[in-house]
């Protein structure tokens, strides 16, 4: 009886999640095509673009309605509200939802207000928003016995990884400073040009790639 109830619950969850699969594929189709205005007008991609906007706006309204339950009323205390708010903030799936909305808003701004020079950055933001949408879909697997356990294990491993990443980043920065001070002792322009040309990326790149075995002996020894 319990097994039958579990199978029914899984089928209901799949039926509930199916409306999210089709819009995700439509969003993928839009992101994989050109974001130029001329292309969208000629190839009738504008309808697909607005469909993506409408779908994400509906999800945004759903999140707002969910957050509205946190507002205190006469029947609940401030302690209860704070407990609910803390639980909502520390929920990974809610964080992914808001990150997808935030990156989409940035993409819309770049797409429509910086049409000439912002198209590449708009594509990057659209793709990042789509990535958060796909990661958000992993919540569906929680209802399954084996995949759900795996998702929970991976999520807890990522939480433990945060402290290790900060530790490694501190070491990488120190080693990068050591390399840069000896390889380019007279370098002055640390923050010149655009942000992509900042010297910080050069400082971090060499020790970062050495973690994966890219020693780059030609640069370090001055040979070649």
Listing DSSP states for 17-72 in one string gives HHHHHHHHHHHHHHHHS---HHHHHHTT-HHHHHHHHHHHHHHHHHHHHHHHTTS-
10 and 103 part of one domain: yes
Task: List, for residues 100-123, the tens digit of each pLDDT value.
Answer: 889 988 888 887 777 666 577 888
Q: How confident is the model at residue 183 (pLDDT cuts 50, 70, 90)?
A: confident
Domain count, the chain: 2
Q: What are phi and psi of 144, to 5 degrees?
A: -85, 150
**Which of these, 124, 126, 97, lies nearest to 27 by C-alpha position?**
126
| Residue-range definition of the domain harbouring residue 169 | 162-221
138's CB contacts (< 8 A; 6+ apart) are 151
Mean pLDDT taken over the chain: 75
What's this model's pTM, rounded to 2 decimal places?
Answer: 0.64
Whole-Å CA distances, 188 to 60, 104, 184, 198, 202 = 46, 38, 9, 11, 14
150 within domain boundaries: no
pLDDT of 188 reads: 76
- Tell me if 205 sits within 8 A of 216, measured CB to CB: no
pLDDT recorded at residue 31? 74
39, 45 Cβ separation under 8 angstroms? yes
Do 89 and 16 belong to one domain? yes
What is the distance between the alpha carbons of residues 45 and 31, in angstroms, rounded to a whole number? 11
Same domain, 79 and 177: no
More confident residue, 38 or 210: 210
Pair 135, 207 in one domain: no
Is pLDDT above 60 for 13? no
Give the three-class secondary structure for 75: coil
- Tell me whether residue 58 is in a domain: yes
Q: Is the dihedral of CA 215, 216, 221, 224 positive or negative?
A: positive
CA distance 220 to 116: 40
Largest CA distance in the chain: 76
| 9 and 94 fall within a common domain | yes
User: Same domain, yes or no, for 181 and 74?
Assistant: no
Final residue belonging to a domain, choices 143, 176, 198: 143
Q: How far apart are the first and last CA of the chain?
A: 72
């Amino acid at each position: 009886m319990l097994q039958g109830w579990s199978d029914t619950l899984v089928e209901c969850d799949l039926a509930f999640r199916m409306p999210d699969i089709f819009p995700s594929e439509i969003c993928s189709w839009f992101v994989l095509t050109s974001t130029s205005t001329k292309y969208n007008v000629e190839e009738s991609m504008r309808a697909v673009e607005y469909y993506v906007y409408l779908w994400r706006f509906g999800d945004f309204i759903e999140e707002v309605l969910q957050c509205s339950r946190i507002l205190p009323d006469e029947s609940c205390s401030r302690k209860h509200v704070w407990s609910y708010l803390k639980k909502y903030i520390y929920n990974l799936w809610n964080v992914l939802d808001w990150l997808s909305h935030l990156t989409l808003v940035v993409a819309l701004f770049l797409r429509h207000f910086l049409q000439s020079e912002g198209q590449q950055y708009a594509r990057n933001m659209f793709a990042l928003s789509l990535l958060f949408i796909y990661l958000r879909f992993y919540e569906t697997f929680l209802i399954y016995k084996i995949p759900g356990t795996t998702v929970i294990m991976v999520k807890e491993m990522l939480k433990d990884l945060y402290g290790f990443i900060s530790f490694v980043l501190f070491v990488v920065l120190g080693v990068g400073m050591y390399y840069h001070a000896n390889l380019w002792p007279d370098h002055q322009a640390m923050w010149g040009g655009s942000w992509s040309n900042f010297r910080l990326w050069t400082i971090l790149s060499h020790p970062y790639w050495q973690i994966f075995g890219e020693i780059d002996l030609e640069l370090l020894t001055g040979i070649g």
